[in-house]
Amino acid sequence: NLTQRLAKVVKTMRGEARLTESNTAEMLREVRLALLEADVALPAVREFIAKVKEKALGEEVISSLTPGQALVGVVQRELAAIMGADLGPEAYELNFATQPPAIILMAGLQGAGKTTTVGKLAKYLKEEKRKKVLTVSADVYRPAAIGQLETVTKQVGADFFPSSANDKPVDIALAAVDYAKKHYHDVLIIDTAGRLGIDEAMMQEIAALHAAVKPIETLFVVDAMLGQDAINTAKAFNDALPLTGVVLTKLDGDSRGGAALSVRHITGKPVKFAGVAEKLDGLEAFDPNRMANRILGMGDILALVEEARKGVDVAAAKDLADKIKGGGKFDLNDFKAQISQMKKMGGLSGLLDKLPAQFQQAAGSADMGQAEKQVRRMEGIINAMTPQERAKPELIKASRKRRIATGAGVQVQEVNRMLSQFEQMQSMMKKLKGGGMMKMMRSMKG
């Protein structure tokens, strides 16, 4: 597992203040291996490593992190970015900005999951986007293919345009477009034939379909289990057709999903959807951050963070954990200790830097500056209390509140608010039974 391997290298990199050519070389070798193990194709791996190297070199390392941990952060961020984390939400949306029907053409090898994905898309468009959807099959080579599309279409309650295996694919598609116009369908999804391998006749056929119907979306459907071969398939389809997006299917399998990176490398097009089940509700919006963690096998980066924290104040953390586990009460002295530990780790924003990107995104939408200010005010209030009051907050009645407020330079209401927030936190701590801040974060992960 990459996390373990990285953790080993991370240890040897302690005490250096920035990332350099020499202290990143070994780490990058591990990352390269991990990507190859995850079935990312070699050209995509090379490009990625070069990019990370460029980003990482010279990057300052936050005081409580080792260069190794900092590099893990760069790797995760860059991987997510390459797979589209930096694109706006519109990059993942299907485009409907055309005279109806908006035509979606499905392309991909046989068995990739095209027909299933048509059913899933029809369901999604009907239920989430309130579209009137028509489907049609231009797969005239396998007699069962047309019936399969009819079945999934009826299952999701969309409309199906019947076709015959004796007709030509282009004629079928044009007849369906005509029908969709007459019946005011918003969307027409055209399912196509695939072959087991890349084949010139198949490419010509789908290119001809594309030219005839001029779809607004041309989705390349690719099986995540395809591994290294994904890159050749993607290249063939990308050369034959102006793709607008990718659907990565069978992510519920045990592949590490390296195909996502390979396909992105070749097509430059965003993965718009992920297939996560055979069932027709098994379609999800693609999540680049989650995919990056999956490819790197890095879901457990929090273990690394905890490692960093241990270096900060292992004794204090253990005291606290023992205290709570032993049924002891989490009091304001403990709270004060937690705030100062957090400050040692670079404050709230420093803490944030160590979290996986999906947390960073979630927290990034909150106002960190504001939260930081809030914590400082809380600390000021706690500092204005006597040790006795911190150990027994229930002692704090009206006159003490006034004294504390004056001491901290805040209004009495703020002392009240702080005390009630603390009470909430106390009951949350009780539920968590030990572990404090880190445990709380880890519980957010699941």
Counting Cα atoms < 13 Å in the Cβ hemisphere of 158 gives 34
Task: State the residue number with the nearest CB to Mg ion.
Answer: 115
Shortest separation between residue 85's beta carbon and ligand GDP, angstroms:
22
Q: Is 174 exposed, middle or buried (0-12, 13-18, 19+ CB in 10 A)?
A: middle
Q: What is the rounded distance in angstroms from the CA atom of residue 83 to the CA atom of residue 191? A: 26
Shortest distance, position 194 Cβ to ligand GDP, whole Å = 5
Binder among 84, 101, 113, 258 for ligand GDP (CB under 6 A): 113
Which of 79, 106 has the CB closer to ligand GDP?
Answer: 106
A 10 A CB-CB count for 395 gives 12
Nearer to ligand GDP, 31 or 107 (CB): 107
Q: Compose the 113-132 pattern: x for residues touching Mg ion by CB under 5 A, - for all others.
A: -xx-----------------
37 binds, among Mg ion, ligand GDP, none (CB under 5 to 8 A by kind): none
The DSSP-derived string for 105-163 is EEE--TTSSHHHHHHHHHHHHHHTS---EEEEE---SSHHHHHHHHHHHHHTT-EEE--
Q: Taking CB under 6 A as the criterion, which residues in 153-212 touch ligand GDP?
A: 194
Residue with tokens 């979630």: 362
357-365 vs 67-80: helix crossing angle, rounded to 10: 80
Q: How far is the CB of 51 from ligand GDP (least distance, A)?
A: 29
Query: Candidates 111-119, 174-182, 301-309, 382-390 — which segment interacts with Mg ion by CB under 5 A?
Result: 111-119
Q: Which does 301 bind (CB under 5 to 8 A by kind): ligand GDP, Mg ion, none?
A: none
Which residue from 68, 73, 108, 257 is in contact with ligand GDP, where contact means CB under 6 A? Answer: 108
Residue 272 lies near ligand GDP (rule: CB under 6 A): no
Residues 347-366 within binding reach of ligand GDP (CB under 6 A): none
Binding residues with Mg ion: total (CB under 5 A):
2
Binding part of the chain for ligand GDP, among 66-74, 248-256, 286-294, 337-345 by CB under 6 A, reads 248-256
- Could you give phi then psi for residue 278, rounded to 5 degrees? -70, -30
Q: Which of the 8 DSSP states describes residue 270? A: P
**Partner interacting with residue 219 (select from Mg ion, ligand GDP, none; CB below 5-8 Å by kind):** none
Q: Which of these ranges, 22-30, 109-117, 198-206, 258-266, lies near ligand GDP under the rule CB under 6 A? A: 109-117
For residue 368, what is the enclosing H or E element?
helix 368-383
Chain centroid to CA 275: how far?
A: 15
Return the bridge partners of 161, or none: 136
Cβ closer to ligand GDP: 30 or 150? 150
Among 84, 282, 288, 435, interactor with ligand GDP by CB under 6 A: 282
Q: How many residues bind ligand GDP (CB under 6 A)?
A: 17
Bridge partners (DSSP) of residue 135 are 160, 189
For position 114 contacting ligand GDP by CB under 6 A, the verdict is yes
SS3 assignment, position 24:
helix
Query: Of all helices (H) and strands (E), which one includes residue 188?
Result: strand 187-191
Closest to ligand GDP by CB, 252 vs 319, is 252
Query: Smaller CB distance to Mg ion: residue 113 or 215?
Result: 113
Q: Which tokens in the block code for residue 48?
A: 């990625």
Taking the least distance from each CB to ligand GDP, the nearer of 276 and 396 is: 276
H or E, element range at 313: helix 301-325
Q: In this complex, which beta carbon is closest to ligand GDP, that of residue 152 or of residue 324?
A: 152
Calculate the alpha carbon distances from 17 to 23, 28, 61, 392 in Å: 11, 18, 6, 42
Rank residues 108 and 288 by Cβ distance to ligand GDP and give the closer one: 108
Nearer to ligand GDP, 282 or 393 (CB): 282
Residue 252 in the binding site for ligand GDP (CB under 6 A): yes
Tokens 């070389």 — which residue?
25
> What tokens were used for 409?
């330079």
Comparing CB distances to Mg ion, the nearer of 114 and 269 is 114
Binding residue for ligand GDP, selected from 121, 276, 280, 320, defined by CB under 6 A: 276
Note the residue count of the chain. Answer: 446
> Which token pair is 423?
């009470």
Which option in Mg ion, ligand GDP, none does residue 276 bind, with CB closer than 5 to 8 A by kind? ligand GDP
Report if residue 249 touches ligand GDP, rule: CB under 6 A.
yes
In terms of C-beta density within 10 A (0-12 exposed, 13-18 middle, 19 or more buried), how is residue 117 classed? buried
CB atoms within 10 A of CB 264: 22
DSSP 76-91: HHHHHIIIIITS-GGG
Contacts of 63 (CB under 8 A, 6+ apart): 346
Minimal CB distance residue for ligand GDP:
275
Residue 59: name its binding partner from Mg ion, ligand GDP, none (Cβ under 5 to 8 Å by kind): none
Q: Given the rule CB under 6 A, which residues bind ligand GDP?
A: 108, 110-116, 194, 249-250, 252, 275-278, 282
Q: Given the rule CB under 5 A, which residues bind Mg ion?
A: 114-115
